[in-house]
Structure 1
């Protein structure tokens, strides 16, 4: 935990506990503040994966794995803002090579447990979705549906194109139809997003939905990676509350240790509300 002011506030709120108990709690809170999220991004060639990541995230991107690496290992990129690190995993799009789809299925099954979220990009003008639907049902399945956020990319290419860089009313209506179609085909857990990086359209809503889809421990570190226009009040409040809840879960976990003396357990429960309030109050120090 490399923030002395935030650390001091936590230490004060835990001062009624034995040193070993407060150290155990601080150690686990430290792991939360240093959590390194991993987000997968998939889509067919030309879906605009790189441009979307560059538009959303502020960190400098550097490759972690070699392009010539084994095809079973997807490309991994490190995204860094200051000392904060996040991994983007570039997953291959399905349906482009039937011979490779079986290999991709094995790759996805290997990667999905390690990822906090998968952004599944579908081009606004892509109508060949049967393979995507089959792959979603067979490989993603019930176990990982909650990890997938569908994103309609390049919405400015939706017919009828206006050519003036802005989305017309007719385009927006057709995008709404496409969103409805994807909900019908995939029955996703999370609402489908639609964006246009070129027109700077839909990105703020997508960033908010992405933060809502993430597991609680990942939302704050991802917010720290967002470009400043997307660090909205709603986004920061969601992450702040998530951080408070994860700290609360840490206290519950330590309290549930089998050998904890009953008086110590009582003190942990007594300071719980205060510690969670501190977590929310010092969120800005860490993220």
Structure 2
């Protein structure tokens, strides 16, 4: 019901446009509101991929079995929250089988264009990063660096371990050093995150950073998949803003059609600010 109210408000804001232009805008907005994001998650066996996904997302995720390390096809999981879907793609970790890394390189090159984001998990106590570094620079390369968010997982295992209690000052200092090391090795586009699912540490910051890394059309659908505790004001406002800007981009793309009459182009440009404002205002109706 709210979805229809939101659509009606947007439709009303397009008054003055020719019917064909208004319908074209609404068609693309409907596609936007039904966008199904795809997030890849990679890491060596035991990096905690499934536990992180279960901690972040509200939909049930099937556990990743050890067989995944031997499969040459990425495992896909479809999450459902309400009537919204999101796909998680479990990508094989590199460096476990040198014979297969070449195959994995081909697999990644095939998958990367289809993914909105890749969460690259590196265990806090993993020191063997040479293969990861080579793979990142040679396979991910310049074209897809913006799609990768590095996550230091299992931060509670950083020395000196605290016997199950909260992270100690020394552990946090060593995690900071690990973050600096990853920045030196990989020179990532986005800041490195560090989390401990067991301690529920760092997850909110990671969720906020993940939303900032996503392409604009994917932020709102991903927010609707997050656990309620991670749908913070920062997260929601980022998604609301992105939705407005994406709707604005729809108007821009139609205005740029070469055969659009000048008067119609002028009307589109005149209503743009209002339509974007309405889109932000009705964001909650959709998501």
TM-score range with shorter-chain normalisation? over 0.9
Preserved CA contact (<8 Å) 1:61 1:80: no
Which residue number corresponds to residue 218 of structure 1?
218
1:146 matched to 2:143: no
1:160-175, aligned counterparts within 5 Å? Answer: 160-175=160-175
How far off its partner does 1:85 sit? 0.6
TM-score, normalised relative to structure 1: 0.96
Q: Which moved more, 1:162-171 or 1:197-206?
A: 162-171
| CA shift digits 1:225-252 (9 cap, x unpaired) | 0001110000111111101110000000
Determine helix, strand or coil for the equivalent of 1:77.
strand
Which stretch shifts more, 162-171 or 75-84? 162-171
**Partners of 1:60 and 1:3 in 2: how far apart?**
24
1:179 aligns with 2:179: yes
- Structure 2 Cα separation of the partners of residues 122 and 43 of structure 1: 6
Task: For residue 2 of structure 1, report the CA deviation from its aligned partner.
Answer: 8.0
Please state if 1:93 is matched with 2:107: no
CA contact (8 A) 2:211 2:219 kept: yes
The structure 1 segments of at least 4 consecutive aligned residues displaced by more than 6 Å after TM superposition are none
Shift of 1:165: 2.9
**Distance in 2, Cα, partners of 1:150 & 1:81:** 26
Aligned to 1:200: 200
User: Which runs of no fewer than 5 residues in structure 2 stay unpaired?
Assistant: none
Distance across 2 between alignment mates of 1:162 and 1:71: 36
* Residue pair 1:62, 1:79 contacting (<8 A) in 2 also: no
Does residue 229 of structure 1 match 2:218? no
Q: How does 1:51-66 map to 2 (within 5 A)?
A: 51-61=51-61
Asked whether the 8 Å contact 2:95–2:132 carries over to 1, the reply is: yes
Asked if the contact 1:124/1:157 (under 8 Å) is kept, the reply is yes
Q: Report the aligned-residue RMSD.
A: 1.6
- CA distance in 2 between partners of 1:214 and 1:107 (Å): 22
Kindly indicate whether the alpha-carbon contact (under 8 Å) linking 2:245 and 2:276 is maintained by their aligned counterparts in 1.
yes
Alignment partners' CA distance in 2, 1:259 and 1:71: 51
